Amino acid sequence: MITQVVFDSGASAGATPRPALVEWLAGEGREVAADDPLCTYEIDKAVAIYHAPAGGIVRRHLVPPGARFAPGDVLALLSGDPAEPLPEASPSPLPVEKDLRVFDWSEIDNREGEPEPLGVMRRAIADRMAMSKRHIPCFYLTATADMTGCYALRNALKRAGKRATFNDMAIKASALALAANPRAADAYTPQGLYGGDVVVIGYGHTIAGLDKELEGKDAGAEGEVTMGPEDAFGMPREDLIQSVSTSKFKDGKAQVGMVIESEGRQGVVTKVIGRRATIDFNSPLAGKSVTYSYKIEAVLETAEDKIKGLFALYTGIQDADVKINGDVADVEIPTGITFNQRWLFGKGKLANEILDNTDLKEIRFVESVKKEEKAE
């Protein structure tokens, strides 16, 4: 017997706008019992769980993630027998004409006639823009640009049989500007190093494929290397995806997209359901092939340069004050660095790598506090 999972209007009575399906918790082919979590849906900025009305095997999902539905719509089909044939035309709650939000042209000009329905792509864009404004602080910049050169470039590309829009050019220009000015990008961090990294070959300072590529090369060498996941950031690991209570977040609030740092690892909140948040500590590039362009600016020779370079790599602090006396080096560390997580987790490893790659026999990290002169 086929059981239809019908969305009950009582689950979100009077809800406006219509709910949208977020994620299927029970995949097709999985057996569920009555009241087992079936899927999650978003309504009025909150995410709720919809439970299976009966037991059975989930045979077919009728609503894809992101689609909106209404009370009385069929979300899925269940059956007790996995071989039982399904109806050829299953009821579907996919959007129809009456569901589409419309744009009222009269708000901006004097056009006459019926409001124009939004297409699927415009509707998706509108959804995402509305969502981003609810969760991400927004600001707007306006600039005037001379597009004469862009017109000439577009015409030249058109004659060559290629297509490029002004929007393409604006996106490319913005990307180049952000790459050249990392402080303007949201990826900027005051602890970051910009302009090159110091790495020791064979110590895991960079990914395995790039490590192999750099080995044996001299200053001035440059090139490009493409590597698969096995030599880059590996494949996604289930053990690096953790579920934690939202009480561990500031003010008990967790949002999808939040970046979390814990025990020297960085993760991203990928899902929040009720009082539980899922954090993915996998690299965003896990499972992907990557291409690196590199240039070896210099090969460090002196102990002082090696200490400064490794200290910057592990702490993000450049130009450390280093004093070497015989085979002993003193590195002055700034007051308050003991609260730096990178320092706490990397201090011992840093000291060992300095000793391994120099002729020094002892490394001392010195924290000094000086009395401030009081103005008379």
pLDDT tens sequence across 80-108? 888 888 875 444 444 333 333 444 444 44
Structure tokens at 326: 């015989």
- Helix, strand, coil share of the chain (percent; to 5): 30, 25, 45
Direct distance between the N- and C-terminal alpha carbons of the chain, in angstroms, rounded to an integer: 91
Residues 38, 19: Cα–Cα separation, whole Å = 15
Do residues 329 and 320 make contact, with C-beta atoms less than 8 angstroms apart? no
Residues 225, 241: Cα–Cα separation, whole Å = 30
Mean pLDDT lowest among 237-241, 289-293, 309-313, 372-376 = 372-376
Residues 6, 71: Cα–Cα separation, whole Å = 8
Determine the CATH number of domain 2-99. 2.40.50.100
Determine the CATH number of domain 237-280. 2.40.10.330
Nearest to 343 by CA among 316, 367, 361: 316
Residue 242 main-chain phi, psi, to 5 deg? -120, 145
Beta strand 56-61 pairing with 74-79: antiparallel
Query: Where does 316-373 have alpha helices with state H?
Result: 341-356
- The whole-number average pLDDT for the span 178-187 is 64
pTM for the full predicted model: 0.43
Identify the three-state secondary structure at position 133. Answer: helix
Residues 52, 54: Cα–Cα separation, whole Å = 5
- The architecture that CATH gives domain 303-367 is 2-Layer Sandwich (3.30)
Structure tokens at 230: 């096995």
Question: For the chain, how many residues are written?
Answer: 376
Q: CA 83 → CA 58, 74, 86, 261, distances in Å?
A: 12, 21, 9, 47
Structure tokens at 86: 């399904």
Instruction: Give the pLDDT score at 205.
Output: 83
Instruction: Give the pLDDT score at 363.
Output: 92
Q: Quick one: pLDDT band at residue 189, thresholds 50, 70, 90?
A: low
Do residues 31 and 107 make contact, with C-beta atoms less than 8 angstroms apart? no
Instruction: Give the pLDDT score at 41.
Output: 87
